[in-house]
Amino acid sequence: MRDHRYTAVALAVSAITPALADGQTTQQDTRWCTTGSPSSYVRAIERAIADGLVHDHALAPAIPATPRITFPASSTRGAPCLAPEQIYLYEDTNALLVSAYSSGELFAFMVQAANQLIAEWGDNYDFIGFWMDFTPTDQLGSAAFYLPVMNDVTGIGFPDSDLPDMMTFDNHDALGLAGDNVDGLVMMWNVNDALWTIPGATRAIMGHEFGHRWACFLPPTSDGIEFQGDNTECYAVSHWNSRVDAQASVLGISEWIGSDPAVLTPQFFNYINFNTEIPNPPTGGGLWSYPELYLMGYVSPAEMDSLTQEFRYMVDAVCDPATPHAGAIRALSSADIIAAAGPRAPTSTDPESQKHFRAAWIMVHQPGSPPSPNDLALATEFLEQNTTDWGPSTLSRGSINHALFYDPDCDGVPDPLGCNPADLAEPFGALDFSDVLAFLTAFGAADPLADLAPPTGVFDFSDVLAFLTGFGAGCP
């Protein structure tokens, strides 16, 4: 039985990804998300350099010693609203993306744009994402993808299929990316693509790409459970094998209902669906499944096992909604993931397990053609929705903040962090010894943070006086 929404989506996707046949309902490899191994992106850039298509990227720009705007810790809990100024504009000066380009040229372009953002706004972001306001020549067969830069979490598998013992990596230098904070880059292509007019499509696919930060790299168990697909009958590498049942997710973990036979629920979007047991009011379902929340560091193994109703493996199933599975079903638990990949470290309760994230977004445009207000409004709408989804989807344990700069009143103008020029350090809203220390440190280092009074660039008694005046005035 075919879900009419699924057919509509499949038709829409086929318009931009020729590899997907119209109305396809079997779980063959379609790879609309082309997220690959970390080293594959490095190699693509290296090939482009060797072919003379891009300059050697060894010269990443300097990062400002003091980012223009830092965020108080409390602001990482998700921005309430986003002004269009929160989207960083980047001109495709050489019109690369409307010409014939290689994957390496594209990845190098993304790194270059990210470097410019970091040079201007600091190395403050866990993710840097991309929209554009035009149709690029080639989307590499993808509706979206995640470009992994760095992973320091163990127990989530081996993301690099070419280096099967590599659990952690940091490809900042190899990619030519400035700083050391970014975990990965997210490509969402044209903000006006017809695909994004399908209700829920950006919500599902943004959740999918961010999920790749942690998920879909598990090795098989010793008794033959293939957690991930293999590009044959039950979906693709670096994605869930469709035989794995965990009540659906936007990362594409399946929802099989019943047993003997078990029936695969038709997908909302080409293998992906909202989760059926984590409440999220707009759709009734969260972005991720409990096994994914475990991999992401939001739930413990015991919570994962007790909270989810079913975590199962349809042994030898044909992964097709039209073909019920009457064969063997193997129960799965966190122990199977741990047996295959080792225990996750840091654990979900370890303070080192990051739960709140920050992302900055770039809108690429062609020369002389800046994005329209509508383009920027659409992008911020999608980002606000992702922030809204992130909370309930992580059991209110996590958040993502898509703000480029601190702007709690959402007027598009960066807001001061403290109550007056002397309120330089956390806790903001109070003047205390941490502000004195911050001023003295910055003053001693000729850091712009301490350049509180004219003349600009000169660190003299006028700056000290400005600090003392603000400090003496106190916070209201």
Q: Site residues (CB under 5 A) for Zn ion?
A: 33, 35
Q: Which is nearer to Zn ion, 131 or 406 (CB)?
A: 131
As measured in angstroms, the least distance from the Cβ of 127 to Zn ion is 15
Reduced 3-state DSSP string for 73-127: HHHHHCCCCCCHHHEEEEECCCCHHHCCCCHHHHHHHHHHHHHHHHHHHCCCCCE
Q: Which is nearer to Zn ion, 111 or 216 (CB)?
A: 216
Q: 243-252 burial, b if ≥16 CB within 10 A, otherwise e?
A: bbbbbbbbbb
Q: Judge whether 434 and 338 are in contact, CB under 8 Å.
A: no
Helix (H, G, I), strand (E, B) or coil at 221: coil
Strand partners, 87: 361
Q: Which is nearer to Zn ion, 35 or 308 (CB)?
A: 35
Q: Which is nearer to Zn ion, 33 or 117 (CB)?
A: 33
Closest CA to 243 of 252, 204, 107, 421: 252
As measured in angstroms, the least distance from the Cβ of 212 to Zn ion is 5
| C-beta nearest to Zn ion: residue | 33
Q: Which is nearer to Zn ion, 120 or 230 (CB)?
A: 230
As measured in angstroms, the least distance from the Cβ of 58 to Zn ion is 30
As measured in angstroms, the least distance from the Cβ of 292 to Zn ion is 12
Report how far residue 185's alpha carbon sits from residue 163's, in angstroms, rounded to the nearest whole number: 21
As measured in angstroms, the least distance from the Cβ of 216 to Zn ion is 7
Six token digits for residue 126: 């866990």
As measured in angstroms, the least distance from the Cβ of 81 to Zn ion is 29
Residue found under tokens 């998700």: 78
As measured in angstroms, the least distance from the Cβ of 24 to Zn ion is 17
Q: Which is nearer to Zn ion, 33 or 48 (CB)?
A: 33
Helices (H), 143-259: 172-175, 201-211
Q: Which is nearer to Zn ion, 292 or 463 (CB)?
A: 292
Helix (H, G, I), strand (E, B) or coil at 326: coil
Report how far residue 387's alpha carbon sits from residue 465's, in angstroms, rounded to the nearest whole number: 42
